[in-house]
Amino acid sequence: MNLHGIWAIYRFEMARFGRTIWTSLMVPVITTSLYFIVFGSAIGSQMREVSGVPYGAFIVPGLMLLAIFSESILNASLGIYMPKFTGTIYELLSAPLSPLETVLGYVGAATTKSVVIGLVIFATAHLFVDLPIAHPFAMIAYLVLVAATFCMFGFAIGIWAKGFEQLQVIPLLVVTPLTFLGGAFYSVTILPEPWRSITLFNPVVYLINGFRWTFFGTSDVGVGISLAVTAGFFAACLTWIGWIFRTGWRLKS
Amino acid sequence: MANDPILSIRGVSKTYANGPTALEAVDLDIQRGEIFALLGPNGAGKTTLISIVCGIVVPSTGSITVDGHDALNDYKQARRRVGLVPQELSTDAFESVLATVTFSRRLFGRSGHSAYIEELLRDLSLWDKRHAKIMTLSGGMKRRVLIAKALAHEPDLLFLDEPSAGVDVALRRDMWKLVHRLRDRGVTIILTTHYIEEAEEMADRVGVIAKGKLLLVDDKAALMKKLGKRELDLTLVEPMTAIPAELEEWAPTLENEGHTLRYVFDATGERTGIPSFLRRMQELGIAFKDLETSKSSLEDIFVGLVEEKR
């Protein structure tokens, strides 16, 4: 195992995060505060409880995942896309690193950033609402699992993308709409049919509800299914990345 | 083991998807401690060959071993021994010199804390700039940084892909000195270039590649001896309009609008033909006021080979 190599990539990526630390952390703090002002105060006053949870607290898991989805994809995709863009990828490709070691370095760093941002949002939310956590260890484990999964997804997108525009396409046009429609700010049980059944085809529903379960011990869908969907997406991303390294697709000529 | 080639390339070819064949069944052995110059025009396949050895490009066929390690199946061991200075000035603009060189050393599996890095940066006149961001450096300094990055993990085999591209004369001379120092330390060096002067100055052996085919590989001195032609230029007192029939045996040519008579001879042959040629000129009353001989440069040989290939 090339531990020095993994550490080199991890440190490099964390240094990039460090250069933009204030923007990286202030943006989620401000965004979360704005969501609380709009949803928590303005709309929340009209919807006191959802599934027995105060509305302000109910939206926190969704808010955290909304940020984690986009930050994970952005950080991990930029991490591997920038060397491709600047041409420094030659060094990575010629280094004695296995695909696993390369992914551990990049995805590990991106996951760390995402988890930090998630925890900053969590801390910010505490300023607005009381937030009990039913399963704290599960909450941390789920947070790391979801962040790592979306970082791997972002890593694959970074290899796939041929330009900055393509980097934005999937997070903005696919992931964000699915998150908003996936019960980030509401319980899918309040939807009328057939929308409720249609919503259940959205995988993000399971991710958000699994995470929400770790907070409140209740969920719109079974926590086992949520975990299975998350693990399934993780496995799919892993398979995609494995195939990329095996074939050299968009990495090597 | 010590006599085994440090790099062995067997039947390596590369055909890009929907594209041309970049390399055709290249066989090449590089001996330990030598400086090998791979000469070829743009698009000849030099960078493709280097990229395949380094793992950046996947070969279509063939095998490569570096210090006895298969570059595909035992790639970690093979790559630890190889350093690459790319042609393009590809750097991380926001990193400092020290950080990027340390990054390279770690990437190749070595501890980052090393007196070697200080020695390396001092050797390349980069120590004073170690905290400078790369984007603030000149092109020449960036080239030095790339060399430092390639040497950071103490490779046994160093590839220099067009090392003189875009650098001034002083830096070029500095790099040549560095290459010789590296060789003295036992580093094997392969450089690609289309600056013949560079190959003549540095290389022990030369390979000529064109259109993906390795046309020849030979010792530089032997190559020049084998293929080198000498020219005898006679500056005539009276310009000529045509070669007299009596001189056709030597096949001279008229140059410089008839003011110069050029006779090309084989310097390695038993008889150069010069005495008889001059004697015949005297008999014909052709006077000359100056004479000069010159030998073909590696460039002449290279151009001749490439033209022949076309």
As a whole number, mean pLDDT of residues B45-59 equals 92
Q: Cis before residue A194, ω within 30 degrees of 0? A: yes
As a whole number, mean pLDDT of residues A151-161 equals 95
User: What is the DSSP annotation of B101-145?
Assistant: HHHHHHHTT--S--HHHHHHHHHTT-GGGTTSBGGGS-HHHHHHH
CA neighbours closer than 13 Å in the CB half-sphere of residue B276: 10
Best probe of the A interface among B54, B56, B96, by most A CBs < 10 A, is: B56
As a whole number, mean pLDDT of residues A27-55 equals 78
pLDDT in tens, B61-83: 999 999 999 999 999 999 999 99
Best probe of the B interface among A7, A91, A252, by most B CBs < 10 A, is: A91
The pLDDT, as a whole number, for residue A135 is 94
A200: number of Cβ within 10 Å? 15
Q: Which residues of B200-224 are buried (b: 16+ CB within 10 A; e: fewer)?
A: ebbbebbbbbbbbbbbebbebeebb
Q: Where are the domains of chain A?
A: 3-247
* Closest by Cβ to B16, choosing from A7, A88, A253: A253
Q: What residue of B is the nearest CA neighbor of A102? A: B107
SS3 A203: helix
Average pLDDT, chain B: 87
Q: Tokens 């990575």: give the residue.
A: A92
> What are the start and end residues of each CATH 3.30.70 domain in chain B?
229-309
The pLDDT, as a whole number, for residue B110 is 92
Chain A neighbors of B87, CB-CB under 8 A: none
The pLDDT, as a whole number, for residue A191 is 84
Whether residue B196 is predicted with pLDDT greater than 80 in this model: the reply is no
* Closest by Cβ to A95, choosing from B90, B94, B108: B108
In angstroms, the separation between the Cα of residue B94 and the nearest Cα of chain A is 9
Q: Are B92 and A5 within 8 A, CB to CB?
A: no
Q: Are B107 and A5 within 8 A, CB to CB?
A: yes
Count A/B contacts: CB-CB distance under 8 Å. 83
CA distance B175 to B168: 11
> Which backbone phi and psi does B232 adopt, to 5 degrees?
-110, 115
The pLDDT, as a whole number, for residue B113 is 73
* Closest by Cβ to A96, choosing from B56, B75, B90: B75
The pLDDT, as a whole number, for residue A19 is 85
Q: What residue of A is the nearest CA neighbor of B99? A: A12
Beta bridge pairs of residue B208: B39, B216
> What CATH fold (topology level) applies to the domain B229-309?
Alpha-Beta Plaits (3.30.70)
**Percentage above 70 pLDDT, chain B:** 92
User: What is the DSSP annotation of B38-70?
Assistant: EE--TTSSHHHHHHHHHTSS--SEEEEEETTEE
User: Are B68 and B74 in contact, with CB atoms under 8 Å apart?
Assistant: no
- The least confident of A84-98, B47-61, B116-130, B255-269 is B255-269
> What are the start and end residues of each CATH 3.40.50.300 domain in chain B?
7-225
* Closest by Cβ to A93, choosing from B55, B92, B102: B55
The CATH homologous superfamily to which domain B7-225 belongs is P-loop containing nucleotide triphosphate hydrolases (3.40.50.300)
* Closest by Cβ to B106, choosing from A5, A15, A93: A5
Q: Are A94 and B55 within 8 A, CB to CB?
A: yes
The pLDDT, as a whole number, for residue B308 is 67
> Which backbone phi and psi does A163 adopt, to 5 degrees?
-160, 170
User: Are A184 and A59 in contact, with CB atoms under 8 Å apart?
Assistant: yes
CA distance B94 to B148: 17
> Which backbone phi and psi does A84 adopt, to 5 degrees?
-65, -40
Q: What residue of A is the nearest CA neighbor of B14? A: A253
Q: What residue of A is the nearest CA neighbor of B83? A: A94
The pLDDT, as a whole number, for residue B21 is 85
In angstroms, the separation between the Cα of residue B73 and the nearest Cα of chain A is 12
Chain B neighbors of A10, CB-CB under 8 A: none
Max avg pLDDT among B153-162, B285-294, B299-308 = B153-162
**Sign of the CA dihedral B130, B135, B140, B142?**
positive
pLDDT in tens, B96-124: 999 999 999 999 999 877 789 999 999 88
Among A170, A136, A164, A133, which residue's Cα sits nearest to residue A150? Answer: A170
Whether residue B295 is predicted with pLDDT greater than 80 in this model: the reply is no
* Closest by Cβ to A19, choosing from B90, B91, B94: B94
Q: How far is CA A157 from CA A76, A163, A202, in A?
A: 9, 11, 20
Q: How far is CA B217 from CA B30, B33, B206, B220, in A?
A: 10, 17, 6, 9
Confidence label for A44 from pLDDT (cuts 50, 70 and 90): low
Chain B residues contacting A, CB < 8 Å?
16, 51, 54-58, 75-80, 82, 84, 86, 88, 90-95, 99, 102-104, 106-112, 149
